[in-house]
Each structure stands twice: as C-alpha cells, then as structure tokens.
Chains A and B, each alone.
Chain A
Amino acid sequence: MTIIEVKNLSKKFRVKVKENGLKGSLKSIFKPKYKVVEAVKNISFEVEKGEIIAFIGPNGAGKSTTIKMMTSILYPDQGSVRVLGFDPVKDRKKLSYEIGTVFGQKEQLWTHLTPYDNFKFFGAIYDIPEAACEKRIDELAMLFELDDFINTPVRNLSLGQRIRCEIVASLIHEPKVLFLDEPTIGLDPVVKENIRVLIKRMNKEFKTTIFLTSHDVGDIEKLCKRVIIINDGQIVLDDSMENLKYHYLNKKIVEAKMKEKVNLDDEDGITILKDKGYNLKIEVDTTKRSVADAIKLLNPDNIIDINISNVPLEDIIRNIYQKKD
C-alpha cells in the first residue's frame, strides 16, 4: 500500500542578493535584487507502508525542503504530494494528526519542563484522552528507555537523551508516518547507534512508516532497506540498500598512523589515497579484500592509531554520476 506519493515536485526560493560594501548595501535598499534558487527540481517517488526509507544527500541538496513540503510546512511550486491520501497544503490539520516530525536541528520540547510534562502537552494538543496518553507515555518510555530522566527538565538532558525525548514526543499520537530530519546530527557514534537501534525497534513494534533524511551513510546502512539519494534538487538514485551496498558502499577508508615507514603499492583491492611516510590513507575494496587483510598488510604491531570509515557521501554521489556518464 502506497503511503507517500510524490509526483513532479518542484520548489524555488527567491533569495536576496547584495553587492559588496556600503555602496552595495545602499543600492539594495532602493533596488533590491533577487536570485532564484531551485531547491527541488521535478522529483517523483513513492513510499510503501511500513518502509524505513532513507532520503539522503549532502547539505543543500533539497532534503529538508522536500520533507517540509510533505509535512505541510512549505507550499510546492509545482507537482503534487499525497501523504496517506491527504494533500499537505489543503488538509494540513487532518494530516497533522496522522504524521509525526522530528527535526534534529530544532527543539520542539519545552526546555524548562520535564519530558513527562512535555509528553502530556503533546497528548493534549493531539486531543488524546488523559488515561490513554499516560498509557502511551509508559509504553514509549519503556521502549526508548527514558525512565532515568523522564522527570529531569529537558534543559539538563544530554543531546542524545533529548533526541530520544523528541522522537517520543512525536510518537505520542501514534502517527502512521514519522518524518525524521537528520535525527542523529551532532551525536557521538555510540549515541547514534543507540538511536538507530531504537528507531528500528519502534518500526518493528508499531509498524510506523519512517522517512529519514540524513547525510550520514551510517544511518542508512543500519536502518533502511531502500535509499533515495538527492543532489542539487534532483534524485540521482532510488534503489534498494542491498544494491547500493553492492555497488557503492563496498569501499572502506583506512587511515593509519605508523611507527615506521611502510612501503605499500596499489594492489588488488587496495588503492593508496595518501602516503606521507608515517601517515597512510588507503581505500579497501571489500568485495576483493577484507579490511582485516588490509590491516595485516600494514602490520598491526606497526600501527599507532587507526581509523576506518565509510566513503563520504559526496564521493558516492560523484561515483554515481560517473557511472551514469
């Protein structure tokens, strides 16, 4: 069953431009100039019920603009959006009862109050009867492990705890679709992992459809079965996670600081990206050689420090374009 249907969606912004210096400032008072930025260009996709879908792209790609058009915040210039059969522009209020939103960069909780009071507040604005609301809070507090801090004012919580509460607040009214806009931004790797586990658990427990935007490849690798990559306002890839992994996420970057110089050359499955004697950066193609193998080549006793990471999203996008060409 299709839950979200986006057809030929476009959005333009008018941004004021000003010439440099005092002269430019004076000029812009009398003759303001604008330039048009095309944030989203003619995109189309569908999301099925119960899916966790990743909508990823670098900063400024149009992720947030798209999510805001799906959640009644922005008006599309062209094209159409249907979420649960509702038009976000015309049925804003009806839709708001059916969806939940979390914007990682914005707080929606009242910081002087405790998470519990905040949840009660969200229960009230979504017209949930008091007893049902309390039951739901208990259920979610258990699922998201909030018991230790549910009565601590939000301003005293760590970022990770706060994000957990933000997600719970957006789930109080049992939304059918949850939009998560960069929920793991600014979190450390351990907390990120913890949030991902909780999101997955929630999807399993409540069958909530999750639309997730992120520029962290790790988020999607762990959570999603399907990925849409957006860049410069256009969809560059809409594919299963398996295919993406097979084609693009099969490479790891290994950065190592060595005790002694190592003489290593490009060989099957290993590409030297940077070799500054004691500092080495290599790319390992995991379809040909395991990361453990590559480390063995470096000699583990010789390593002072090591960092293994995914290929940056920007490189994956570049790769996709190259393959298309």
Chain B
Amino acid sequence: MKKYWFIINMQIMSNLQYIFNIIFGFIGYFIMLFILFNLWQYLYSDPSELINGYSLLQMTWYVVITEILWSTLSGSKFCKKICNDVKSGNITYNINKPYSYIGYSLSTHLGDISVRLLVYTILGMLTGLLFLGSFPSLSLVSVLIVILTSIMALVIQTLFMIAIGLLSFFIEDANPFYWVYSKVILVLGTIFPIEYFPGILQTILRFSPVYVVSYGPAKLFVDFSWDAAFSIILAQIIYFVIAYLLCFAIYRKGVKRINVNGG
C-alpha cells in the first residue's frame, strides 16, 4: 500500500506546479453554478416551497456538491489517457514493474484530482455561501461521512473509467463508451437528484452507479439521515468491489492480447 501512497504524493507534487491552472479552471464551475442557481430561483416561487422533497437551499447545495465531484473528476482526459496507454503500447512499460497497473492508474488519478478536489471544495463552498447565505444543517460526524462518501464516489468513478479505457484492448476506441457513461451520470445524477425522475426510473437509478458516484454524497450533504448513510456506504462498497473486479477481468484478458510492434 505504501508504494501507492507514494504514487499519490508524487502526482500531487507534480500537480502543484499547475495550481493556477486549477484555480482558473474554477471559472467554468462558477458560471455553471450561477446559471443553475438562477434557474432554481426562478422555478421556486417561494424559498420554503418543496419540489420533489427539496427546498431551494437543498436543491442548490445538491448541485454545488455534485458539480464539485463532476468537475474534480476530469474524466474524459483520464479515460483518453488509459485508451492511449493501451493503444500506443505504453501500458507495457508498467507491466514489468512491481505494482498493479490498475492500482497505479487509480493512484495517479487520485493524486491528480486531490489538489483540484481541495481547491474546488473550498471555492465551491464559498460560492454556495455567496449565493445562499447559509449551509444545510449538518453535524461534524455527518460532514465526515459526506467527505468519506465523496472520496469513495471519486474512487469508484476512477475505477469505472479505467475499466472503460481498458476496453481499448478489444475495440479500436473506447472513448465513445465513456461519453455515454458520463452523460448518463451528468443528466441523471448531477444536475437533478434521483427524486426528480418518474417512479420506475427512480428504482433503476437507485441500483445504478449514479446512486453511489453522484447522488449519494450530495443527498447526505443536503438531507442527512443515518438510514441513507448506511445504504449509500453499503452500495459504495458493493460498487467498489464490482468496479475493481471488472477492471481486473478486462485487464487480465486484455494484457494477453498486447501487440507491440517495434519500439
């Protein structure tokens, strides 16, 4: 485990050189949040009104959290990197090192996003406060659980991206798969909470990755309950195992097909 922790640290060190890029990148997040805040303000005629169980304060904070997770992830860049590693044969240079490629990729990406996560969380919270003036009511323990589930959400997302990227072993280009996956997460879990969708779709979404990678942490932030916390953490553990086994199976089958001509 120590070596993976070292990889995360190396990536953080490497990334600190781009701290200003990260801060400037926040402008996009701010604009997105500004638009959504105005939209919800328009839709809520009265701040105390509830739409699908959410008040204006809860709805806006929900989006603050899901957008932090979404923007931090920088998924398409990472997925492209894995695809390119496979297609260019770069992956081979990781194979004969004493670490697992999946663990290595997961650690580099977690290192890569950790600085961004910290910056976006601080600036995102300030933006939320600026628009709304207050936080939803939370205890210290519930804040810790939100942080834990948010990190788990990012880990699971990263594993799914590795799995999609590794599909490049078998198909020419896995990027379109990521495109579909990311749009599902964006539309069905980032902009709107699950409760906004019709009954049958809600049930499906509760069993889908949307529940653990996006909805879960944000729901706990705006409307914390121990029941929800247990079910989200349990679902995250199950999804973590599924995503890891998926990566492992694809990698194991794919690595035997490696063709490296020349170089």
Q: Answer whether residue B203 sits at the interface, using C-beta atoms and an 8 A cutoff.
A: no
Chain A 106-121 interface mask (CB, 8 Å, partner B; 1/0): 1010101100010011
8 Å CB contact of A101 from B96, B256, B259: B96
How many residue pairs link A and B with beta carbons under 8 A? The number is 72
Of the candidate stretches A124-132, A138-146, A225-233, A253-261, the one touching chain B is A124-132
Closest to B5 in A: A124
B36 to chain A, nearest CB (A): 35
Q: Could you tell me if A39 and B96 are in contact, using CB atoms closer than 8 angstroms?
A: no
Q: A110-B10, A124-B2, A124-B3 are in contact. Are A99 and B96 (CB under 8 A)?
A: yes
Q: A73-B92, A108-B93, A124-B3 are in contact. Are A68 and B260 (CB under 8 A)?
A: yes
8 Å CB contact of A96 from B13, B97, B256: B97
* 3 closest A-B pairs by CB: A124-B6, A112-B14, A96-B98
Q: Could you tell me if B260 and A74 are in contact, using CB atoms closer than 8 angstroms?
A: yes
Q: Could you tell me if A113 and B256 are in contact, using CB atoms closer than 8 angstroms?
A: no
Q: A73-B95, A106-B93 are in contact. Are A121 and B262 (CB under 8 A)?
A: no
What's the Cα separation between A110 and B11 when bound, in Å?
9
Interface size in chain B (residues, C-beta < 8 A): 23
* Residues of chain A with a CB closer than 8 A to B90's CB: 106
What's the Cα separation between A117 and B17 when bound, in Å?
14
Q: A112-B17, A125-B3 are in contact. Are A106 and B97 (CB under 8 A)?
A: no
What's the Cα separation between A301 and B263 when bound, in Å?
44
What's the Cα separation between A71 and B260 when bound, in Å?
13
* Residues of chain B with a CB closer than 8 A to A14's CB: 259
B1-57: which have CB < 8 Å to A?
A: 2-3, 6-7, 10, 13-14, 17
8 Å CB contact of A127 from B3, B10, B92, B261: B3
A31 to chain B, nearest CB (A): 15
A126 to chain B, nearest CB (A): 6
Known contacts A96-B98, A112-B17; 20 further A-B pairs (Cβ under 8 A) = A13-B259, A13-B261, A15-B259, A64-B260, A71-B96, A73-B258, A74-B92, A92-B95, A93-B98, A103-B263, A105-B263, A108-B93, A110-B14, A113-B10, A121-B6, A121-B7, A124-B6, A125-B3, A127-B2, A127-B98
Q: Answer whether residue B196 sits at the interface, using C-beta atoms and an 8 A cutoff.
A: no
A188 to chain B, nearest CB (A): 21
B205-263: which have CB < 8 Å to A?
A: 256, 258-263
* Residues of chain B with a CB closer than 8 A to A73's CB: 92-93, 95-96, 258, 260
A274-312: which have CB < 8 Å to B?
A: none
The interface of chain A, by Cβ under 8 A from chain B, is 13-15, 37, 39, 59-60, 64-65, 68, 71-75, 92-93, 95-97, 99, 101, 103, 105-106, 108, 110, 112-113, 117, 120-121, 124-127
Q: Could you tell me if A96 and B14 are in contact, using CB atoms closer than 8 angstroms?
A: no
Q: A68-B92, A75-B256, A113-B14 are in contact. Are A125 and B262 (CB under 8 A)?
A: no
Q: Could you tell me if A125 and B99 are in contact, using CB atoms closer than 8 angstroms?
A: yes
A157 to chain B, nearest CB (A): 16
Q: Could you tell me if B96 and A125 are in contact, using CB atoms closer than 8 angstroms?
A: no
Q: A64-B260, A121-B7, A124-B3 are in contact. Are A72 and B99 (CB under 8 A)?
A: no
Chain B 90-113 interface mask (CB, 8 Å, partner A; 1/0): 101101111100000000000000
Q: Could you tell me if A97 and B96 are in contact, using CB atoms closer than 8 angstroms?
A: no
Closest to B94 in A: A108
What's the Cα separation between A287 and B93 when bound, in Å?
44
